[in-house]
Structure 1
């Protein structure tokens, strides 16, 4: 940012004439455009710049407050005050509409935490500035950005924050309320949330697929006629299909069905061969199933049961097979999730998770 370095006072000794002159020049530079031409404003601003370099804090504060609401504020003067100590820069950083994204970006990169907090409180922050604020990695600034509902957040910034939520639970609670959050991001965020936030995610993003199913019903026979040669179509239809279970695998399974495999899991524990069979019968990746089993809260397994049409006793079979007690608060909360979701909504969540695992394999 050209000519935006903080003031280095030449002389801090109080000078009455100097301070009065600074106030007069500030009043002139703040006149509306109907009374002052741009050229006159630039000249006055250049004179004021030199005076302010030798003025005390109250004089600079007064000038900053005056310029904060001025759309025609001279850029050089505005930028240097915005880079000044925080108590001077604050009104400009929070209110000035004359600062450009370029100006703000430079202040984000060179200013203090307080400067970044002030910028985060601005109205209508652009995606570029919000990305720079988030990139700084300061939790108070990030929280301020997320609480500011006028801030625009780009998809890559949200992805970064969803990843950071694993270590900062406060981010998760704020991200759930953001209108920009997409289903794929929300279902990634799910794993790092507590029960109340998980319920919010499900209420907002676990939608049914009625329109998709009705609109694509005739495509399934087309794919069968083509022997499923198009992997892209197959991938999309796996998300849409009404069926969740792998019926062909059930015909070949030594356990006869998904319920039979879960009964064996409850009786024999988490043997790798049984886990593999449950994943195959449920038509999900084994890594996804293992992640669901590792989750101590139980909601993912409840979603698995609902999506595959399993009755609640099958959840108990999975839970006890993992060596856990059914008389547990987590089981009660998981039951509420199971009962609150329709089969289609549970399938939506499960399939997003499964596609996410597939996408991870491709990277």
Structure 2
């Protein structure tokens, strides 16, 4: 019997022998569990792993294609192919359902943007993998992830993507359609959106507070009896309260009403003291009022006016006081003013205000 000579690793194996051996090993790896024990599968996979590491791209690509539809291929072998050059990895990333989250994280971390884009397109991308993809901040990958209806986004991931959307407008409409988006995140996203996306946010998230009001009416006198000593309770009840204007502040104001303060804005223009007074009378944080006045679009001012019971002519007074002219932007603001009820406008305004108060704390 002829003795088998030891393998000379420095000499390339005959192309056909290596090709056939790789195909045979791949066939064995793919055998069902009824014909192959786990230990046998691991041994064969280790041999195939070593063979592929020393083989050219064409062979690796053929084996990847062969293994891409298998559900029982060892993960070490799959990860090696999935983190290979994109042309080799592609069939594994597109079709292989055996990859775990651990495998995906390694692919995300060691692969290229092309690898990450394909991972973002896969069905049922988990919260963990989605977070890893979003962390790279690559617009192409993020856009593909947001379009993937089967991907699951955790709240911190949505927070991160909302922050990205403030600098990349094309993410906003994709985020608005995501079921994971919560009101606080949507109203933060609002500030970086165009008119169309702003109206979409208001249409979806501006809701009334009837249930909250009915459930907490008896808590207001309790808090008042305690002298409003609990600041957290006070903050939440201010969100729930039917009233938006600060009646106590109006009694001490140099203006008879909020309407008169808006007329003063028309006459005198923007003054720091006047902006602060309008904020106080409206029951909101000074910084929020400044942000609303600084916004070049008219939707925030329209929300303010509707929430505080101001008429459209009061909006016009404020708009003129800000040095703005009539035109399409003002028409968009009128649309928002007309579409919102007082209750819904108050919901939006109070979410914004809670956010600014939380930042102050």
The Cα of 1:65 is off from its aligned counterpart by 2.1
> Which residues of 2 match residues 220-231 of structure 1 at below 5 A?
220-231=220-231
Further displaced range: 315-324 or 226-235: 226-235
Q: Residue 12 of structure 1 contacts residue 56 of structure 1 at CA under 8 Å; is this kept in 2?
A: no
Task: Give the structure 2 partner of residue 35 of structure 1.
Answer: 35
Q: Residue 104 of structure 1 contacts residue 119 of structure 1 at CA under 8 Å; is this kept in 2?
A: yes
Runs of 5+ consecutive residues of structure 2 not aligned to the other structure: 1-8
| 1:181-234 C-alpha deviation (Å, 9 max, x unpaired) | 110000000000001100110111101000001111111122222221221211
Q: How high is the TM-score relative to the length of structure 1? A: 0.93
Q: How high is the TM-score relative to the length of structure 2? A: 0.94
Q: Residue 75 of structure 2 contacts residue 103 of structure 2 at CA under 8 Å; is this kept in 1?
A: no
Task: Give the structure 2 partner of residue 329 of structure 1.
Answer: 328
Task: Give the structure 1 partner of residue 251 of structure 2.
Answer: 251
Runs of 5+ consecutive residues of structure 1 not aligned to the other structure: 1-8
Task: Give the structure 1 partner of residue 359 of structure 2.
Answer: 360
> Which residues of 2 match residues 180-191 of structure 1 at below 5 A?
180-191=180-191
> Which residues of 2 match residues 306-345 of structure 1 at below 5 A?
306-325=306-325, 327-345=326-344
The Cα of 1:98 is off from its aligned counterpart by 2.2
> Which residues of 2 match residues 62-211 of structure 1 at below 5 A?
62-211=62-211
The Cα of 1:10 is off from its aligned counterpart by 7.2
Structure 1 counterpart SS, 2:314: helix
The Cα of 1:103 is off from its aligned counterpart by 2.0
How many angstroms apart in 2 are the aligned matches of 1:155 and 1:53? Answer: 40
The Cα of 1:17 is off from its aligned counterpart by 1.8
Task: Give the structure 2 partner of residue 285 of structure 1.
Answer: 285
| 1:7-26 C-alpha deviation (Å, 9 max, x unpaired) | xx977786112211211221
How many angstroms apart in 2 are the aligned matches of 1:354 and 1:268? Answer: 26
Structure 2 counterpart SS, 1:297: coil
Cα pair distance change 1:358/1:12, threshold 3 Å: farther
Structure 1 counterpart SS, 2:71: coil
| 1:52-101 C-alpha deviation (Å, 9 max, x unpaired) | 23433333222212222222111221111111111111121233232222
How many angstroms apart in 2 are the aligned matches of 1:11 and 1:317? Answer: 86
Q: Residue 11 of structure 1 contacts residue 54 of structure 1 at CA under 8 Å; is this kept in 2?
A: no
Aligned-residue CA RMSD (Å) = 1.6
The Cα of 1:152 is off from its aligned counterpart by 1.3
